[in-house]
């Protein structure tokens, strides 16, 4: 067997052994209830989600080994918050995922002959892809959450108008909206509940609203927070301001839908050109090309 294959297989087994050993040392806990009863340990079914949650205890020390400047850690914390991940050790877990991704990509690259023969490419490609893939996934999660918040805001504003005009205060209306939208729009419900917790903890409403806009980084929510701050500052009617803003959000949602519908014609051009038109040309012109070839080629070559 080639020595390089032996090294690759050995590295793979070494990584798996270290990971499982760390998992076992950090997560093995005695079942005290079974020990007190003197019974045999209970058999538990394999739970993938539980395994992933426990694997965090292995990924966190790996992430803590990566030296990062404080401003970079703050930026990552903000991105994780925008993606809906609120954990104090979230940045360390994210860095640990990057390290594991680099190792996996390195093992995959060693299986390719062209990459394995080039040492620089074998080192640079895993580092580049391992650092880029988790960032791309996180960026996608952030964008999906922003789109979800943007779609949910018009419906939440309609509920806010009804609640305020029915006699509820603004804070009580937002609490009610967060409860009603929990099943349909969980992202917006979570952000509203965080706002309510900040207000109940003693923070000023204006500061809590600014935190809501900065935490989500959604332009519509920033405008919503600015509108409520101005309404509270100048003493205007909250119900009227909410109604006008709700009409504006519904109009913007309809305009966004029309914009996406108008873009569909342009987005359909690449699939038509590269996938549908070639198949149509083969089906339509294929038999004619075959017939012409059979009739003309013998005459051009002089064969009877």
Nearest to 164 by CA among 238, 70, 250, 79: 238
Look up residue 153 and give its two tokens.
């805001």
74 to 33, 81, 202, 219, 257: CA distances (angstroms)? 42, 11, 25, 21, 35
In this predicted structure, what is the pLDDT of residue 304? 54
Catalogue the long-range contacts made by 49-57 (C-beta closer than 8 Å, 24 or more residues apart).
54/23, 54/26, 54/27, 55/23, 56/89, 56/93, 57/22, 57/23, 57/26, 57/27
pLDDT tens, position by position, 213-272: 888 888 989 999 999 999 888 888 888 889 999 999 999 989 988 998 888 888 888 888
pLDDT tens, position by position, 60-107: 565 555 555 555 567 888 888 888 888 777 777 788 788 888 888 888
Nearest-angstrom CA–CA distance, 141 and 137: 6
Which residues have a Cβ under 8 Å from the Cβ of 107 and sit 6 or more positions away? 8, 11, 12, 15
Assess whether pLDDT exceeds 80 at residue 185: yes
Residue 179 near residue 196 (C-beta atoms within 8 A): no
Look up residue 161 and give its two tokens.
């108008």
DSSP label at 41?
P
112 to 1, 9, 25: CA distances (angstroms)? 16, 14, 34
Nearest-angstrom CA–CA distance, 273 and 276: 6
Look up residue 186 and give its two tokens.
């969980």
DSSP E strand boundaries for the chain:
none
Q: 143-171 in b/e burial notation, b at 16+ Cβ within 10 A?
A: eebbebbbebbbbbbbbbbbbbeeeeebe
Lowest mean pLDDT among 12-21, 22-31, 139-148, 229-238: 22-31
Q: Is the dihedral of CA 100, 101, 103, 104 positive or negative?
A: positive
Nearest-angstrom CA–CA distance, 270 and 261: 17
Residue 22 near residue 58 (C-beta atoms within 8 A): yes
Nearest-angstrom CA–CA distance, 140 and 146: 10
**pLDDT grade for 36, boundaries at 50, 70 and 90:** very low
Nearest-angstrom CA–CA distance, 199 and 210: 12
């Amino acid at each position: 067997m080639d020595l390089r294959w032996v090294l690759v297989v050995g590295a793979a087994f070494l990584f798996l052994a270290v990971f499982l050993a760390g998992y076992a040392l950090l997560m093995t806990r005695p079942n005290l209830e079974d020990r007190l009863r003197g019974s045999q340990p209970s058999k538990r079914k394999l739970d993938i989600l539980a395994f992933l949650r426990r694997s965090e205890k292995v990924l966190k020390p790996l992430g803590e080994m990566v030296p990062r400047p404080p401003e970079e850690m703050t930026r990552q914390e903000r991105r994780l918050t925008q993606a809906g991940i609120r954990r104090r050790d979230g940045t360390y877990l994210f860095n640990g995922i990057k390290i594991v991704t680099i190792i996996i990509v390195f093992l995959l690259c060693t299986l390719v002959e062209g990459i394995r023969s080039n040492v620089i490419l074998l080192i640079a490609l895993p580092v580049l892809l391992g650092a880029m893939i988790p960032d791309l996934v996180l960026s996608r999660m952030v964008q999906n959450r922003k789109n979800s918040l943007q779609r949910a805001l018009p419906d939440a504003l309609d509920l806010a108008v009804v609640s305020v005009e029915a006699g509820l205060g603004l804070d009580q209306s937002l609490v009610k909206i967060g409860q009603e939208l929990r099943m349909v729009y969980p992202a917006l419900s979570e952000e509203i509940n965080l706002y309510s917790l900040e207000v109940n903890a003693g923070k000023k409403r204006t500061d809590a609203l600014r935190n809501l806009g900065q935490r989500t980084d959604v332009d519509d929510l920033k405008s919503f927070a600015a509108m409520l701050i101005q309404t509270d500052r100048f003493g205007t009617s909250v119900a009227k301001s909410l109604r006008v803003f709700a009409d504006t959000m519904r109009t913007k949602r309809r305009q966004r839908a029309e914009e996406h519908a108008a873009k569909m014609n342009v987005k359909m051009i690449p699939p038509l050109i590269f996938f549908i038109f070639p198949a149509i040309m083969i089906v339509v012109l294929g038999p004619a090309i075959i017939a012409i070839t059979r009739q003309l080629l013998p005459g051009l070559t002089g064969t009877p």
